[in-house]
Amino acid sequence: MYLRFFAIVTVLFMAVFGQGAERKPNILFIAIDDQNDWIGPLGGHPMAKTPNLDRLAARGTTFLNAHCQSPLCNPSRTSLLFGLRPTTTGVYGLAPLPRALPELHKRVSLPQYFEAQGYRTAATGKIYHDGTRAGGNTKKGDAPEFQVIAPYGGVGTLPPKKLIPPTPMGNHPQMDWGVWPLDNDDTGKGDYKVATWTAEQIKTASKDNPFFIAAGFFLPHVPCYATQKWFDLYPDDDSVLPKIVENDRADTPRFSWYLHWKLPEPRLKWVQANNQWRNLVRSYLASTSFVDAQIGRLLTALEESGQAENTIIVVWGDNGFHLGEKEITGKNSLWDNSTRVPLIFAGPGVKPSQRCTQPAELLDIYPTLIALTGAPTRDDLEGLSLLPQLQDAATPRERPAMTSHNQGNHSIRSERWRYIHYADGSEELYDMQADPHEWRNLAPLSEYATILNEHRKWLPKIDRPLAHGSASRVFTYNKATDEVVWEGGAPSKRSDPIPE
């Protein structure tokens, strides 16, 4: 009788508590800086060689229409890690760092949230804009972003002098690219060290407690150096150059130039005149393949650890990058080249070999990881869980993706259309199915009035001005005078020549 009673109690206990006692899935969180859609799974460049991202995509779901919240490192990462749009925080520039703002100082970030769920958190490389440190949180007694932090990442070894000629608008030291180091030794590169440390963390992670391990890769961010073996993957001729059309900005509003008014990244005109366009493109592709190899090292380490089947992997890029399209290089625009980013999920709860065309946002990563791990939900996150699409890629999403860059400038990206609204009220509209290069602005044509109205309704209801301490790549617009003040300088008028 006693044994039977004990057996019944045991069965009931397992039924009630057994599932909860199962070990939570690990999270491998991989960031790539300035990575646009030039990777195999996204097909942004037909020559891109990324075999490791290809094999990860085969294991999971790739979002073909994923977009950043801001086309710049700090606001993009702040949005992802804190679950709020730039229009909510006012963070649009490289400053302020998020923890410097009173409203974000004590807010629970993504890694802190999973630490509270019992995860061991560890990170190296560029996760926040200031690396893995604290997003500006340096006050004594502040909670760390990660339990374990390694000071690796960045460029790594540098050539004795810049490899390219002086560039306009300040000749910024990061404006450089080419073959380096010359001995084909990658071990001195920051991203190689990031992969080495992260792989070791994966291999030695306890199987008794879940982990949240983050690796932030610097390349293909400038200075864009890669060793010769990665350059050899790509032809040294003009076949490698992206497709462009002459005078591509002729039908775009004047205001589109203000988003990158006086940036250190050179215009297409300069890279062409200085015979640097092909060199830049090959450097970017070579760096992309190098980072892909480092991601491959992490995937191999995970497989060798025996924990691959219980690990959620998410790979994301913080913003895109122009390489001559729209007559510019760099980011800071509201077109696909600047906003479209890699977003791949794999692991438990994710259907393999899916390619999703529904719009998605980096803001969605936070609630999606909560849903995939079964953690308690938060009602203060502005993203949407992508779990429905991870289970069936054809599941419709309830709203488009939105990217913002400084107050009043927003891009709305639905499955078919891109709509852009600038602070002065000027607009652009592109049919991304018929015109994936965004070569023809349809906004002035009356037959698209209904499409414009459908997308205007998604413009943000909250659109904060610049947060206190904002600097670097920020500007304000005075509607009364129709002037723009770029980075606190003298007002710019429409009659001013566009800087070259």
pTM tops 0.85: yes
- Per the prediction, the chain carries an average pLDDT of 94
What are the start-end ranges of the H helices in 340-448?
365-373, 387-391
Q: What is the pLDDT of residues 211-221, one digit of tens each?
A: 999 999 999 99
Q: What is the pLDDT of residue 142?
A: 81
Q: Could you confirm whether 129 is annotated as catalytic? A: yes
Is it the case that residue 439 has pLDDT exceeding 80? Answer: yes
Of the candidates 129, 221, 405, 421, the residue annotated as catalytic is 129
Q: What is the pLDDT of residue 136?
A: 54
Q: What is the pLDDT of residue 1?
A: 34
**Sorting pLDDT into bands at 50, 70 and 90, what band is 131?**
confident
**Sorting pLDDT into bands at 50, 70 and 90, what band is 139?**
low
Q: What is the pLDDT of residue 34?
A: 98
Region 168-172: mean pLDDT is: 96
How far, in Å, CA of 65 to CA of 382, rounded? 18
Residue 14 or 328, more confident: 328
Q: What is the pLDDT of residue 125?
A: 96
> Is the peptide bond prior to 173 cis by the omega test (within 30 degrees of 0)?
no
Residue percentage of the chain with pLDDT more than 70: 94
Region 234-262: mean pLDDT is: 97
Q: What is the pLDDT of residue 137?
A: 58
Q: What is the pLDDT of residue 89?
A: 98
Rg (CA), the chain: 23
**Sorting pLDDT into bands at 50, 70 and 90, what band is 364?**
very high
Q: What is the pLDDT of residues 10-24, one digit of tens each?
A: 333 333 333 445 789
Is it the case that residue 222 has pLDDT exceeding 90? Answer: yes
Is it the case that residue 124 has pLDDT exceeding 50? Answer: yes
Q: Quick one: tokens of 478?
A: 């005075």
Distances (CA, A) of 407 to 99, 404, 477: 21, 8, 8
Q: What is the pLDDT of residue 22?
A: 77
Angle between helices 365-373 and 73-82 (to 10 degrees): 30
Region 365-384: mean pLDDT is: 98
Of the candidates 67, 68, 73, 410, the residue annotated as catalytic is 73
Q: What is the pLDDT of residue 135?
A: 57
Q: Which residues contact 442 (CB under 8 A, 6 or more apart)?
A: 429, 430, 431, 448, 451
Q: Could you confirm whether 73 is annotated as catalytic? A: yes
Q: What is the pLDDT of residue 104?
A: 96
Q: What is the pLDDT of residues 387-433, one digit of tens each?
A: 999 999 999 999 999 999 999 999 999 999 999 999 999 999 999 99
Region 140-152: mean pLDDT is: 87
Q: What is the pLDDT of residue 23?
A: 87
Is it the case that residue 2 has pLDDT exceeding 50? Answer: no
Q: What is the pLDDT of residue 420?
A: 99
Complete DSSP assignment for 206-263? -SSS-EEEEEEE-TTSSSEEE-HHHHTTS-SSGGGSPP--TTTTTTS-GGGGGGGTT-
Q: What is the pLDDT of residues 310-323, one digit of tens each?
A: 999 999 999 999 99
**Sorting pLDDT into bands at 50, 70 and 90, what band is 9?**
very low
CATH 1.10.10.10 fits 24-405, yes or no: no
Torsion of CA 94, 98, 99, 100, to 10 degrees: 50
